Chains A and B, each alone.
Chain A
Amino acid sequence: MRFSIFRYSPERDEKPYMQAFDIEIQPTDRMLLDVILRIRDSQDDSLTLRKSCREGVCGSDAININGRNGLACVTPVRELKEPVELRPLPTFPIIRDLVVDMTRFYKQYYSIKPYVINDEAAPAKERLQSPQDREKLDGSYECILCACCTSQCPSSWWNPDKFVGPAGLLQAYRFIVDSRDRATRERLDDLGDPYRLFRCRTIMNCTEVCPKGLSPSRAIERIRLTMLNVHGDEGGLALHRVPPIR
């Protein structure tokens, strides 16, 4: 199979370029990550990428594959259209090759205060939560912060410092609906201005590329309705089938 991989090393290169690699697909190659690592080990060991769990739960190897963001370790390699174009996550500052600087992304995540805020006296053991209340977190707690959604969001492209982005807003939703949290009013107040949430145009790139089948756009809509005191579906968010990358 032929691969075209984005290369850029600030110390060495004046500007980025695409490097072509040809490699025989072996029977043991199932996912894209398998092949990238074999390319690195057999042809060019300067190829730089992040990877860890190799099973789609850590989010380290989020990259742009033939134009769509995804996790290399759970993307079947044989179905990809050739030449397979691998690029770093769009618009994120590039450290080297496929490795991007996630600082901006984490900053937006921290800004929504991703922790339960509850100043009531701590109970003897734990703050109880009914199974029904726990279900409300379904479809938002599973986020692995891989940044596939946020780096595919045009509103995040145009205003990365002011728009929180789909991942951050999905986590904002996760804490807004958490029955143990007491800062709902403050969380909603924080998101009412024209930038933090309302840059979202419901383009839905986020939902389309989420490798865990989550729906940030649905969560954002629910936050809007909560701001208006409109109470619709109070249950968790359903996971959807992840469209395959070709």
Chain B
Amino acid sequence: MKRKYTGLRAWLVQRVSAVYMFLFIVFFLVHLAVDPPRQYPAWHAWITSPAMSIATAAFFAALLAHAWVGLRDVLVDYVHAMAIRAALLGLVGLSLTGMGVWVVRILWTQHG
């Protein structure tokens, strides 16, 4: 997509990520309702299985991208002083990145 279409790209990211998150959540809830892992080892095995790892990682990537686009839209709407907006956007970006790192730690490392 050409550089001058950054608005379209952000809009698309928000919608595609929303669709994926919806499908993932539905699948997740149905799985918990139909075949729930009853102890921690079963849960851990399910969540860290290759398919679920990829799907879950994609879910959180979608969530962070979606949240970034949403929060950036809010700041662009309401904060017109560029210096303040840049600072707030940096804060939001840092927070979301931190949350992303935290998710990885919790789900896929021993430190979780």
Binding site for B on A (CB under 8 A): 155, 158-159, 189, 191-199, 201, 224, 227-228
- The segment from B5-13, B17-25, B45-53, B95-103 found at the interface with A is B5-13
**With A198-B10, A198-B11, A228-B12: A192-B4 Cβ-Cβ less than 8 Å:** yes
Q: Which residues of B contact A228 (CB under 8 A)?
A: 8, 12
Nearest CB in chain A to that of B78: its residue: A158
How many angstroms between the C-alpha atoms of A206 and B12 in the bound complex?
Answer: 23
16 extra A-B contacts, CB within 8 A, seeds A192-B5, A194-B10: A158-B77, A158-B78, A159-B77, A189-B2, A189-B4, A192-B7, A193-B5, A193-B6, A193-B7, A194-B6, A194-B76, A197-B7, A198-B8, A199-B76, A201-B73, A227-B5
Instruction: Offer 13 A-B interface pairs, CB within 8 angstroms, sorted by A.
Output: A155-B77, A189-B5, A192-B2, A192-B5, A192-B7, A193-B5, A195-B76, A196-B7, A198-B7, A224-B8, A224-B11, A228-B8, A228-B12
Q: How far is the CB of B11 from chain A (nearest CB, A)?
A: 6
Residues 21-79 (chain B) with a chain A CB within 8 angstroms: 73, 76-78
* Complex alpha-carbon distance, A224 and B76, angstroms: 20
B77 touching A199, Cβ below 8 Å: yes
Q: Which of these, A158, A159, A194, A201, contacts B7 with CB under 8 Å?
A: A194
Q: Which residues of B contact A224 (CB under 8 A)?
A: 8, 11
**What separation, in Å, do the CA atoms of A131 and B76 have in the docked complex?**
42
For B7, B11, B76, B78, the residue with the greatest tally of chain A CB atoms inside 10 Å of its CB is: B7
- Assess the A192–B77 pair: CB atoms within 8 A: no
User: CA separation between A108 and B15, bound complex, in Å?
Assistant: 27
How far does the alpha carbon of A194 sit from the alpha carbon of B8 in the complex, in Å?
A: 7
Q: Please tell me if the beta carbons of B78 and A192 are within 8 angstroms of each other in the complex.
A: no
Interface-central residue, B4, B6, B8, by most chain A CB under 10 Å? B8
Note all chain A residues with C-beta closer than 8 A to B12. Answer: 228
Give, as a whole number of angstroms, the nearest-CB distance from A144 to chain B: 28
Q: How far is the CA of A195 from the CA of B78 in the complex (A)?
A: 13
Beta-carbon nearest neighbor of A193 in chain B: B7
Q: Please name all residues of chain A whose beta carbon is closer than 8 Å to the beta carbon of B10 when the two chains form the complex.
A: 194, 198
Distance in Å: Cβ of A22 to nearest Cβ of chain B = 41
Say yes or no: A227 contacts B8, CB within 8 Å.
yes
A228 to B4, CA, bound (A): 14
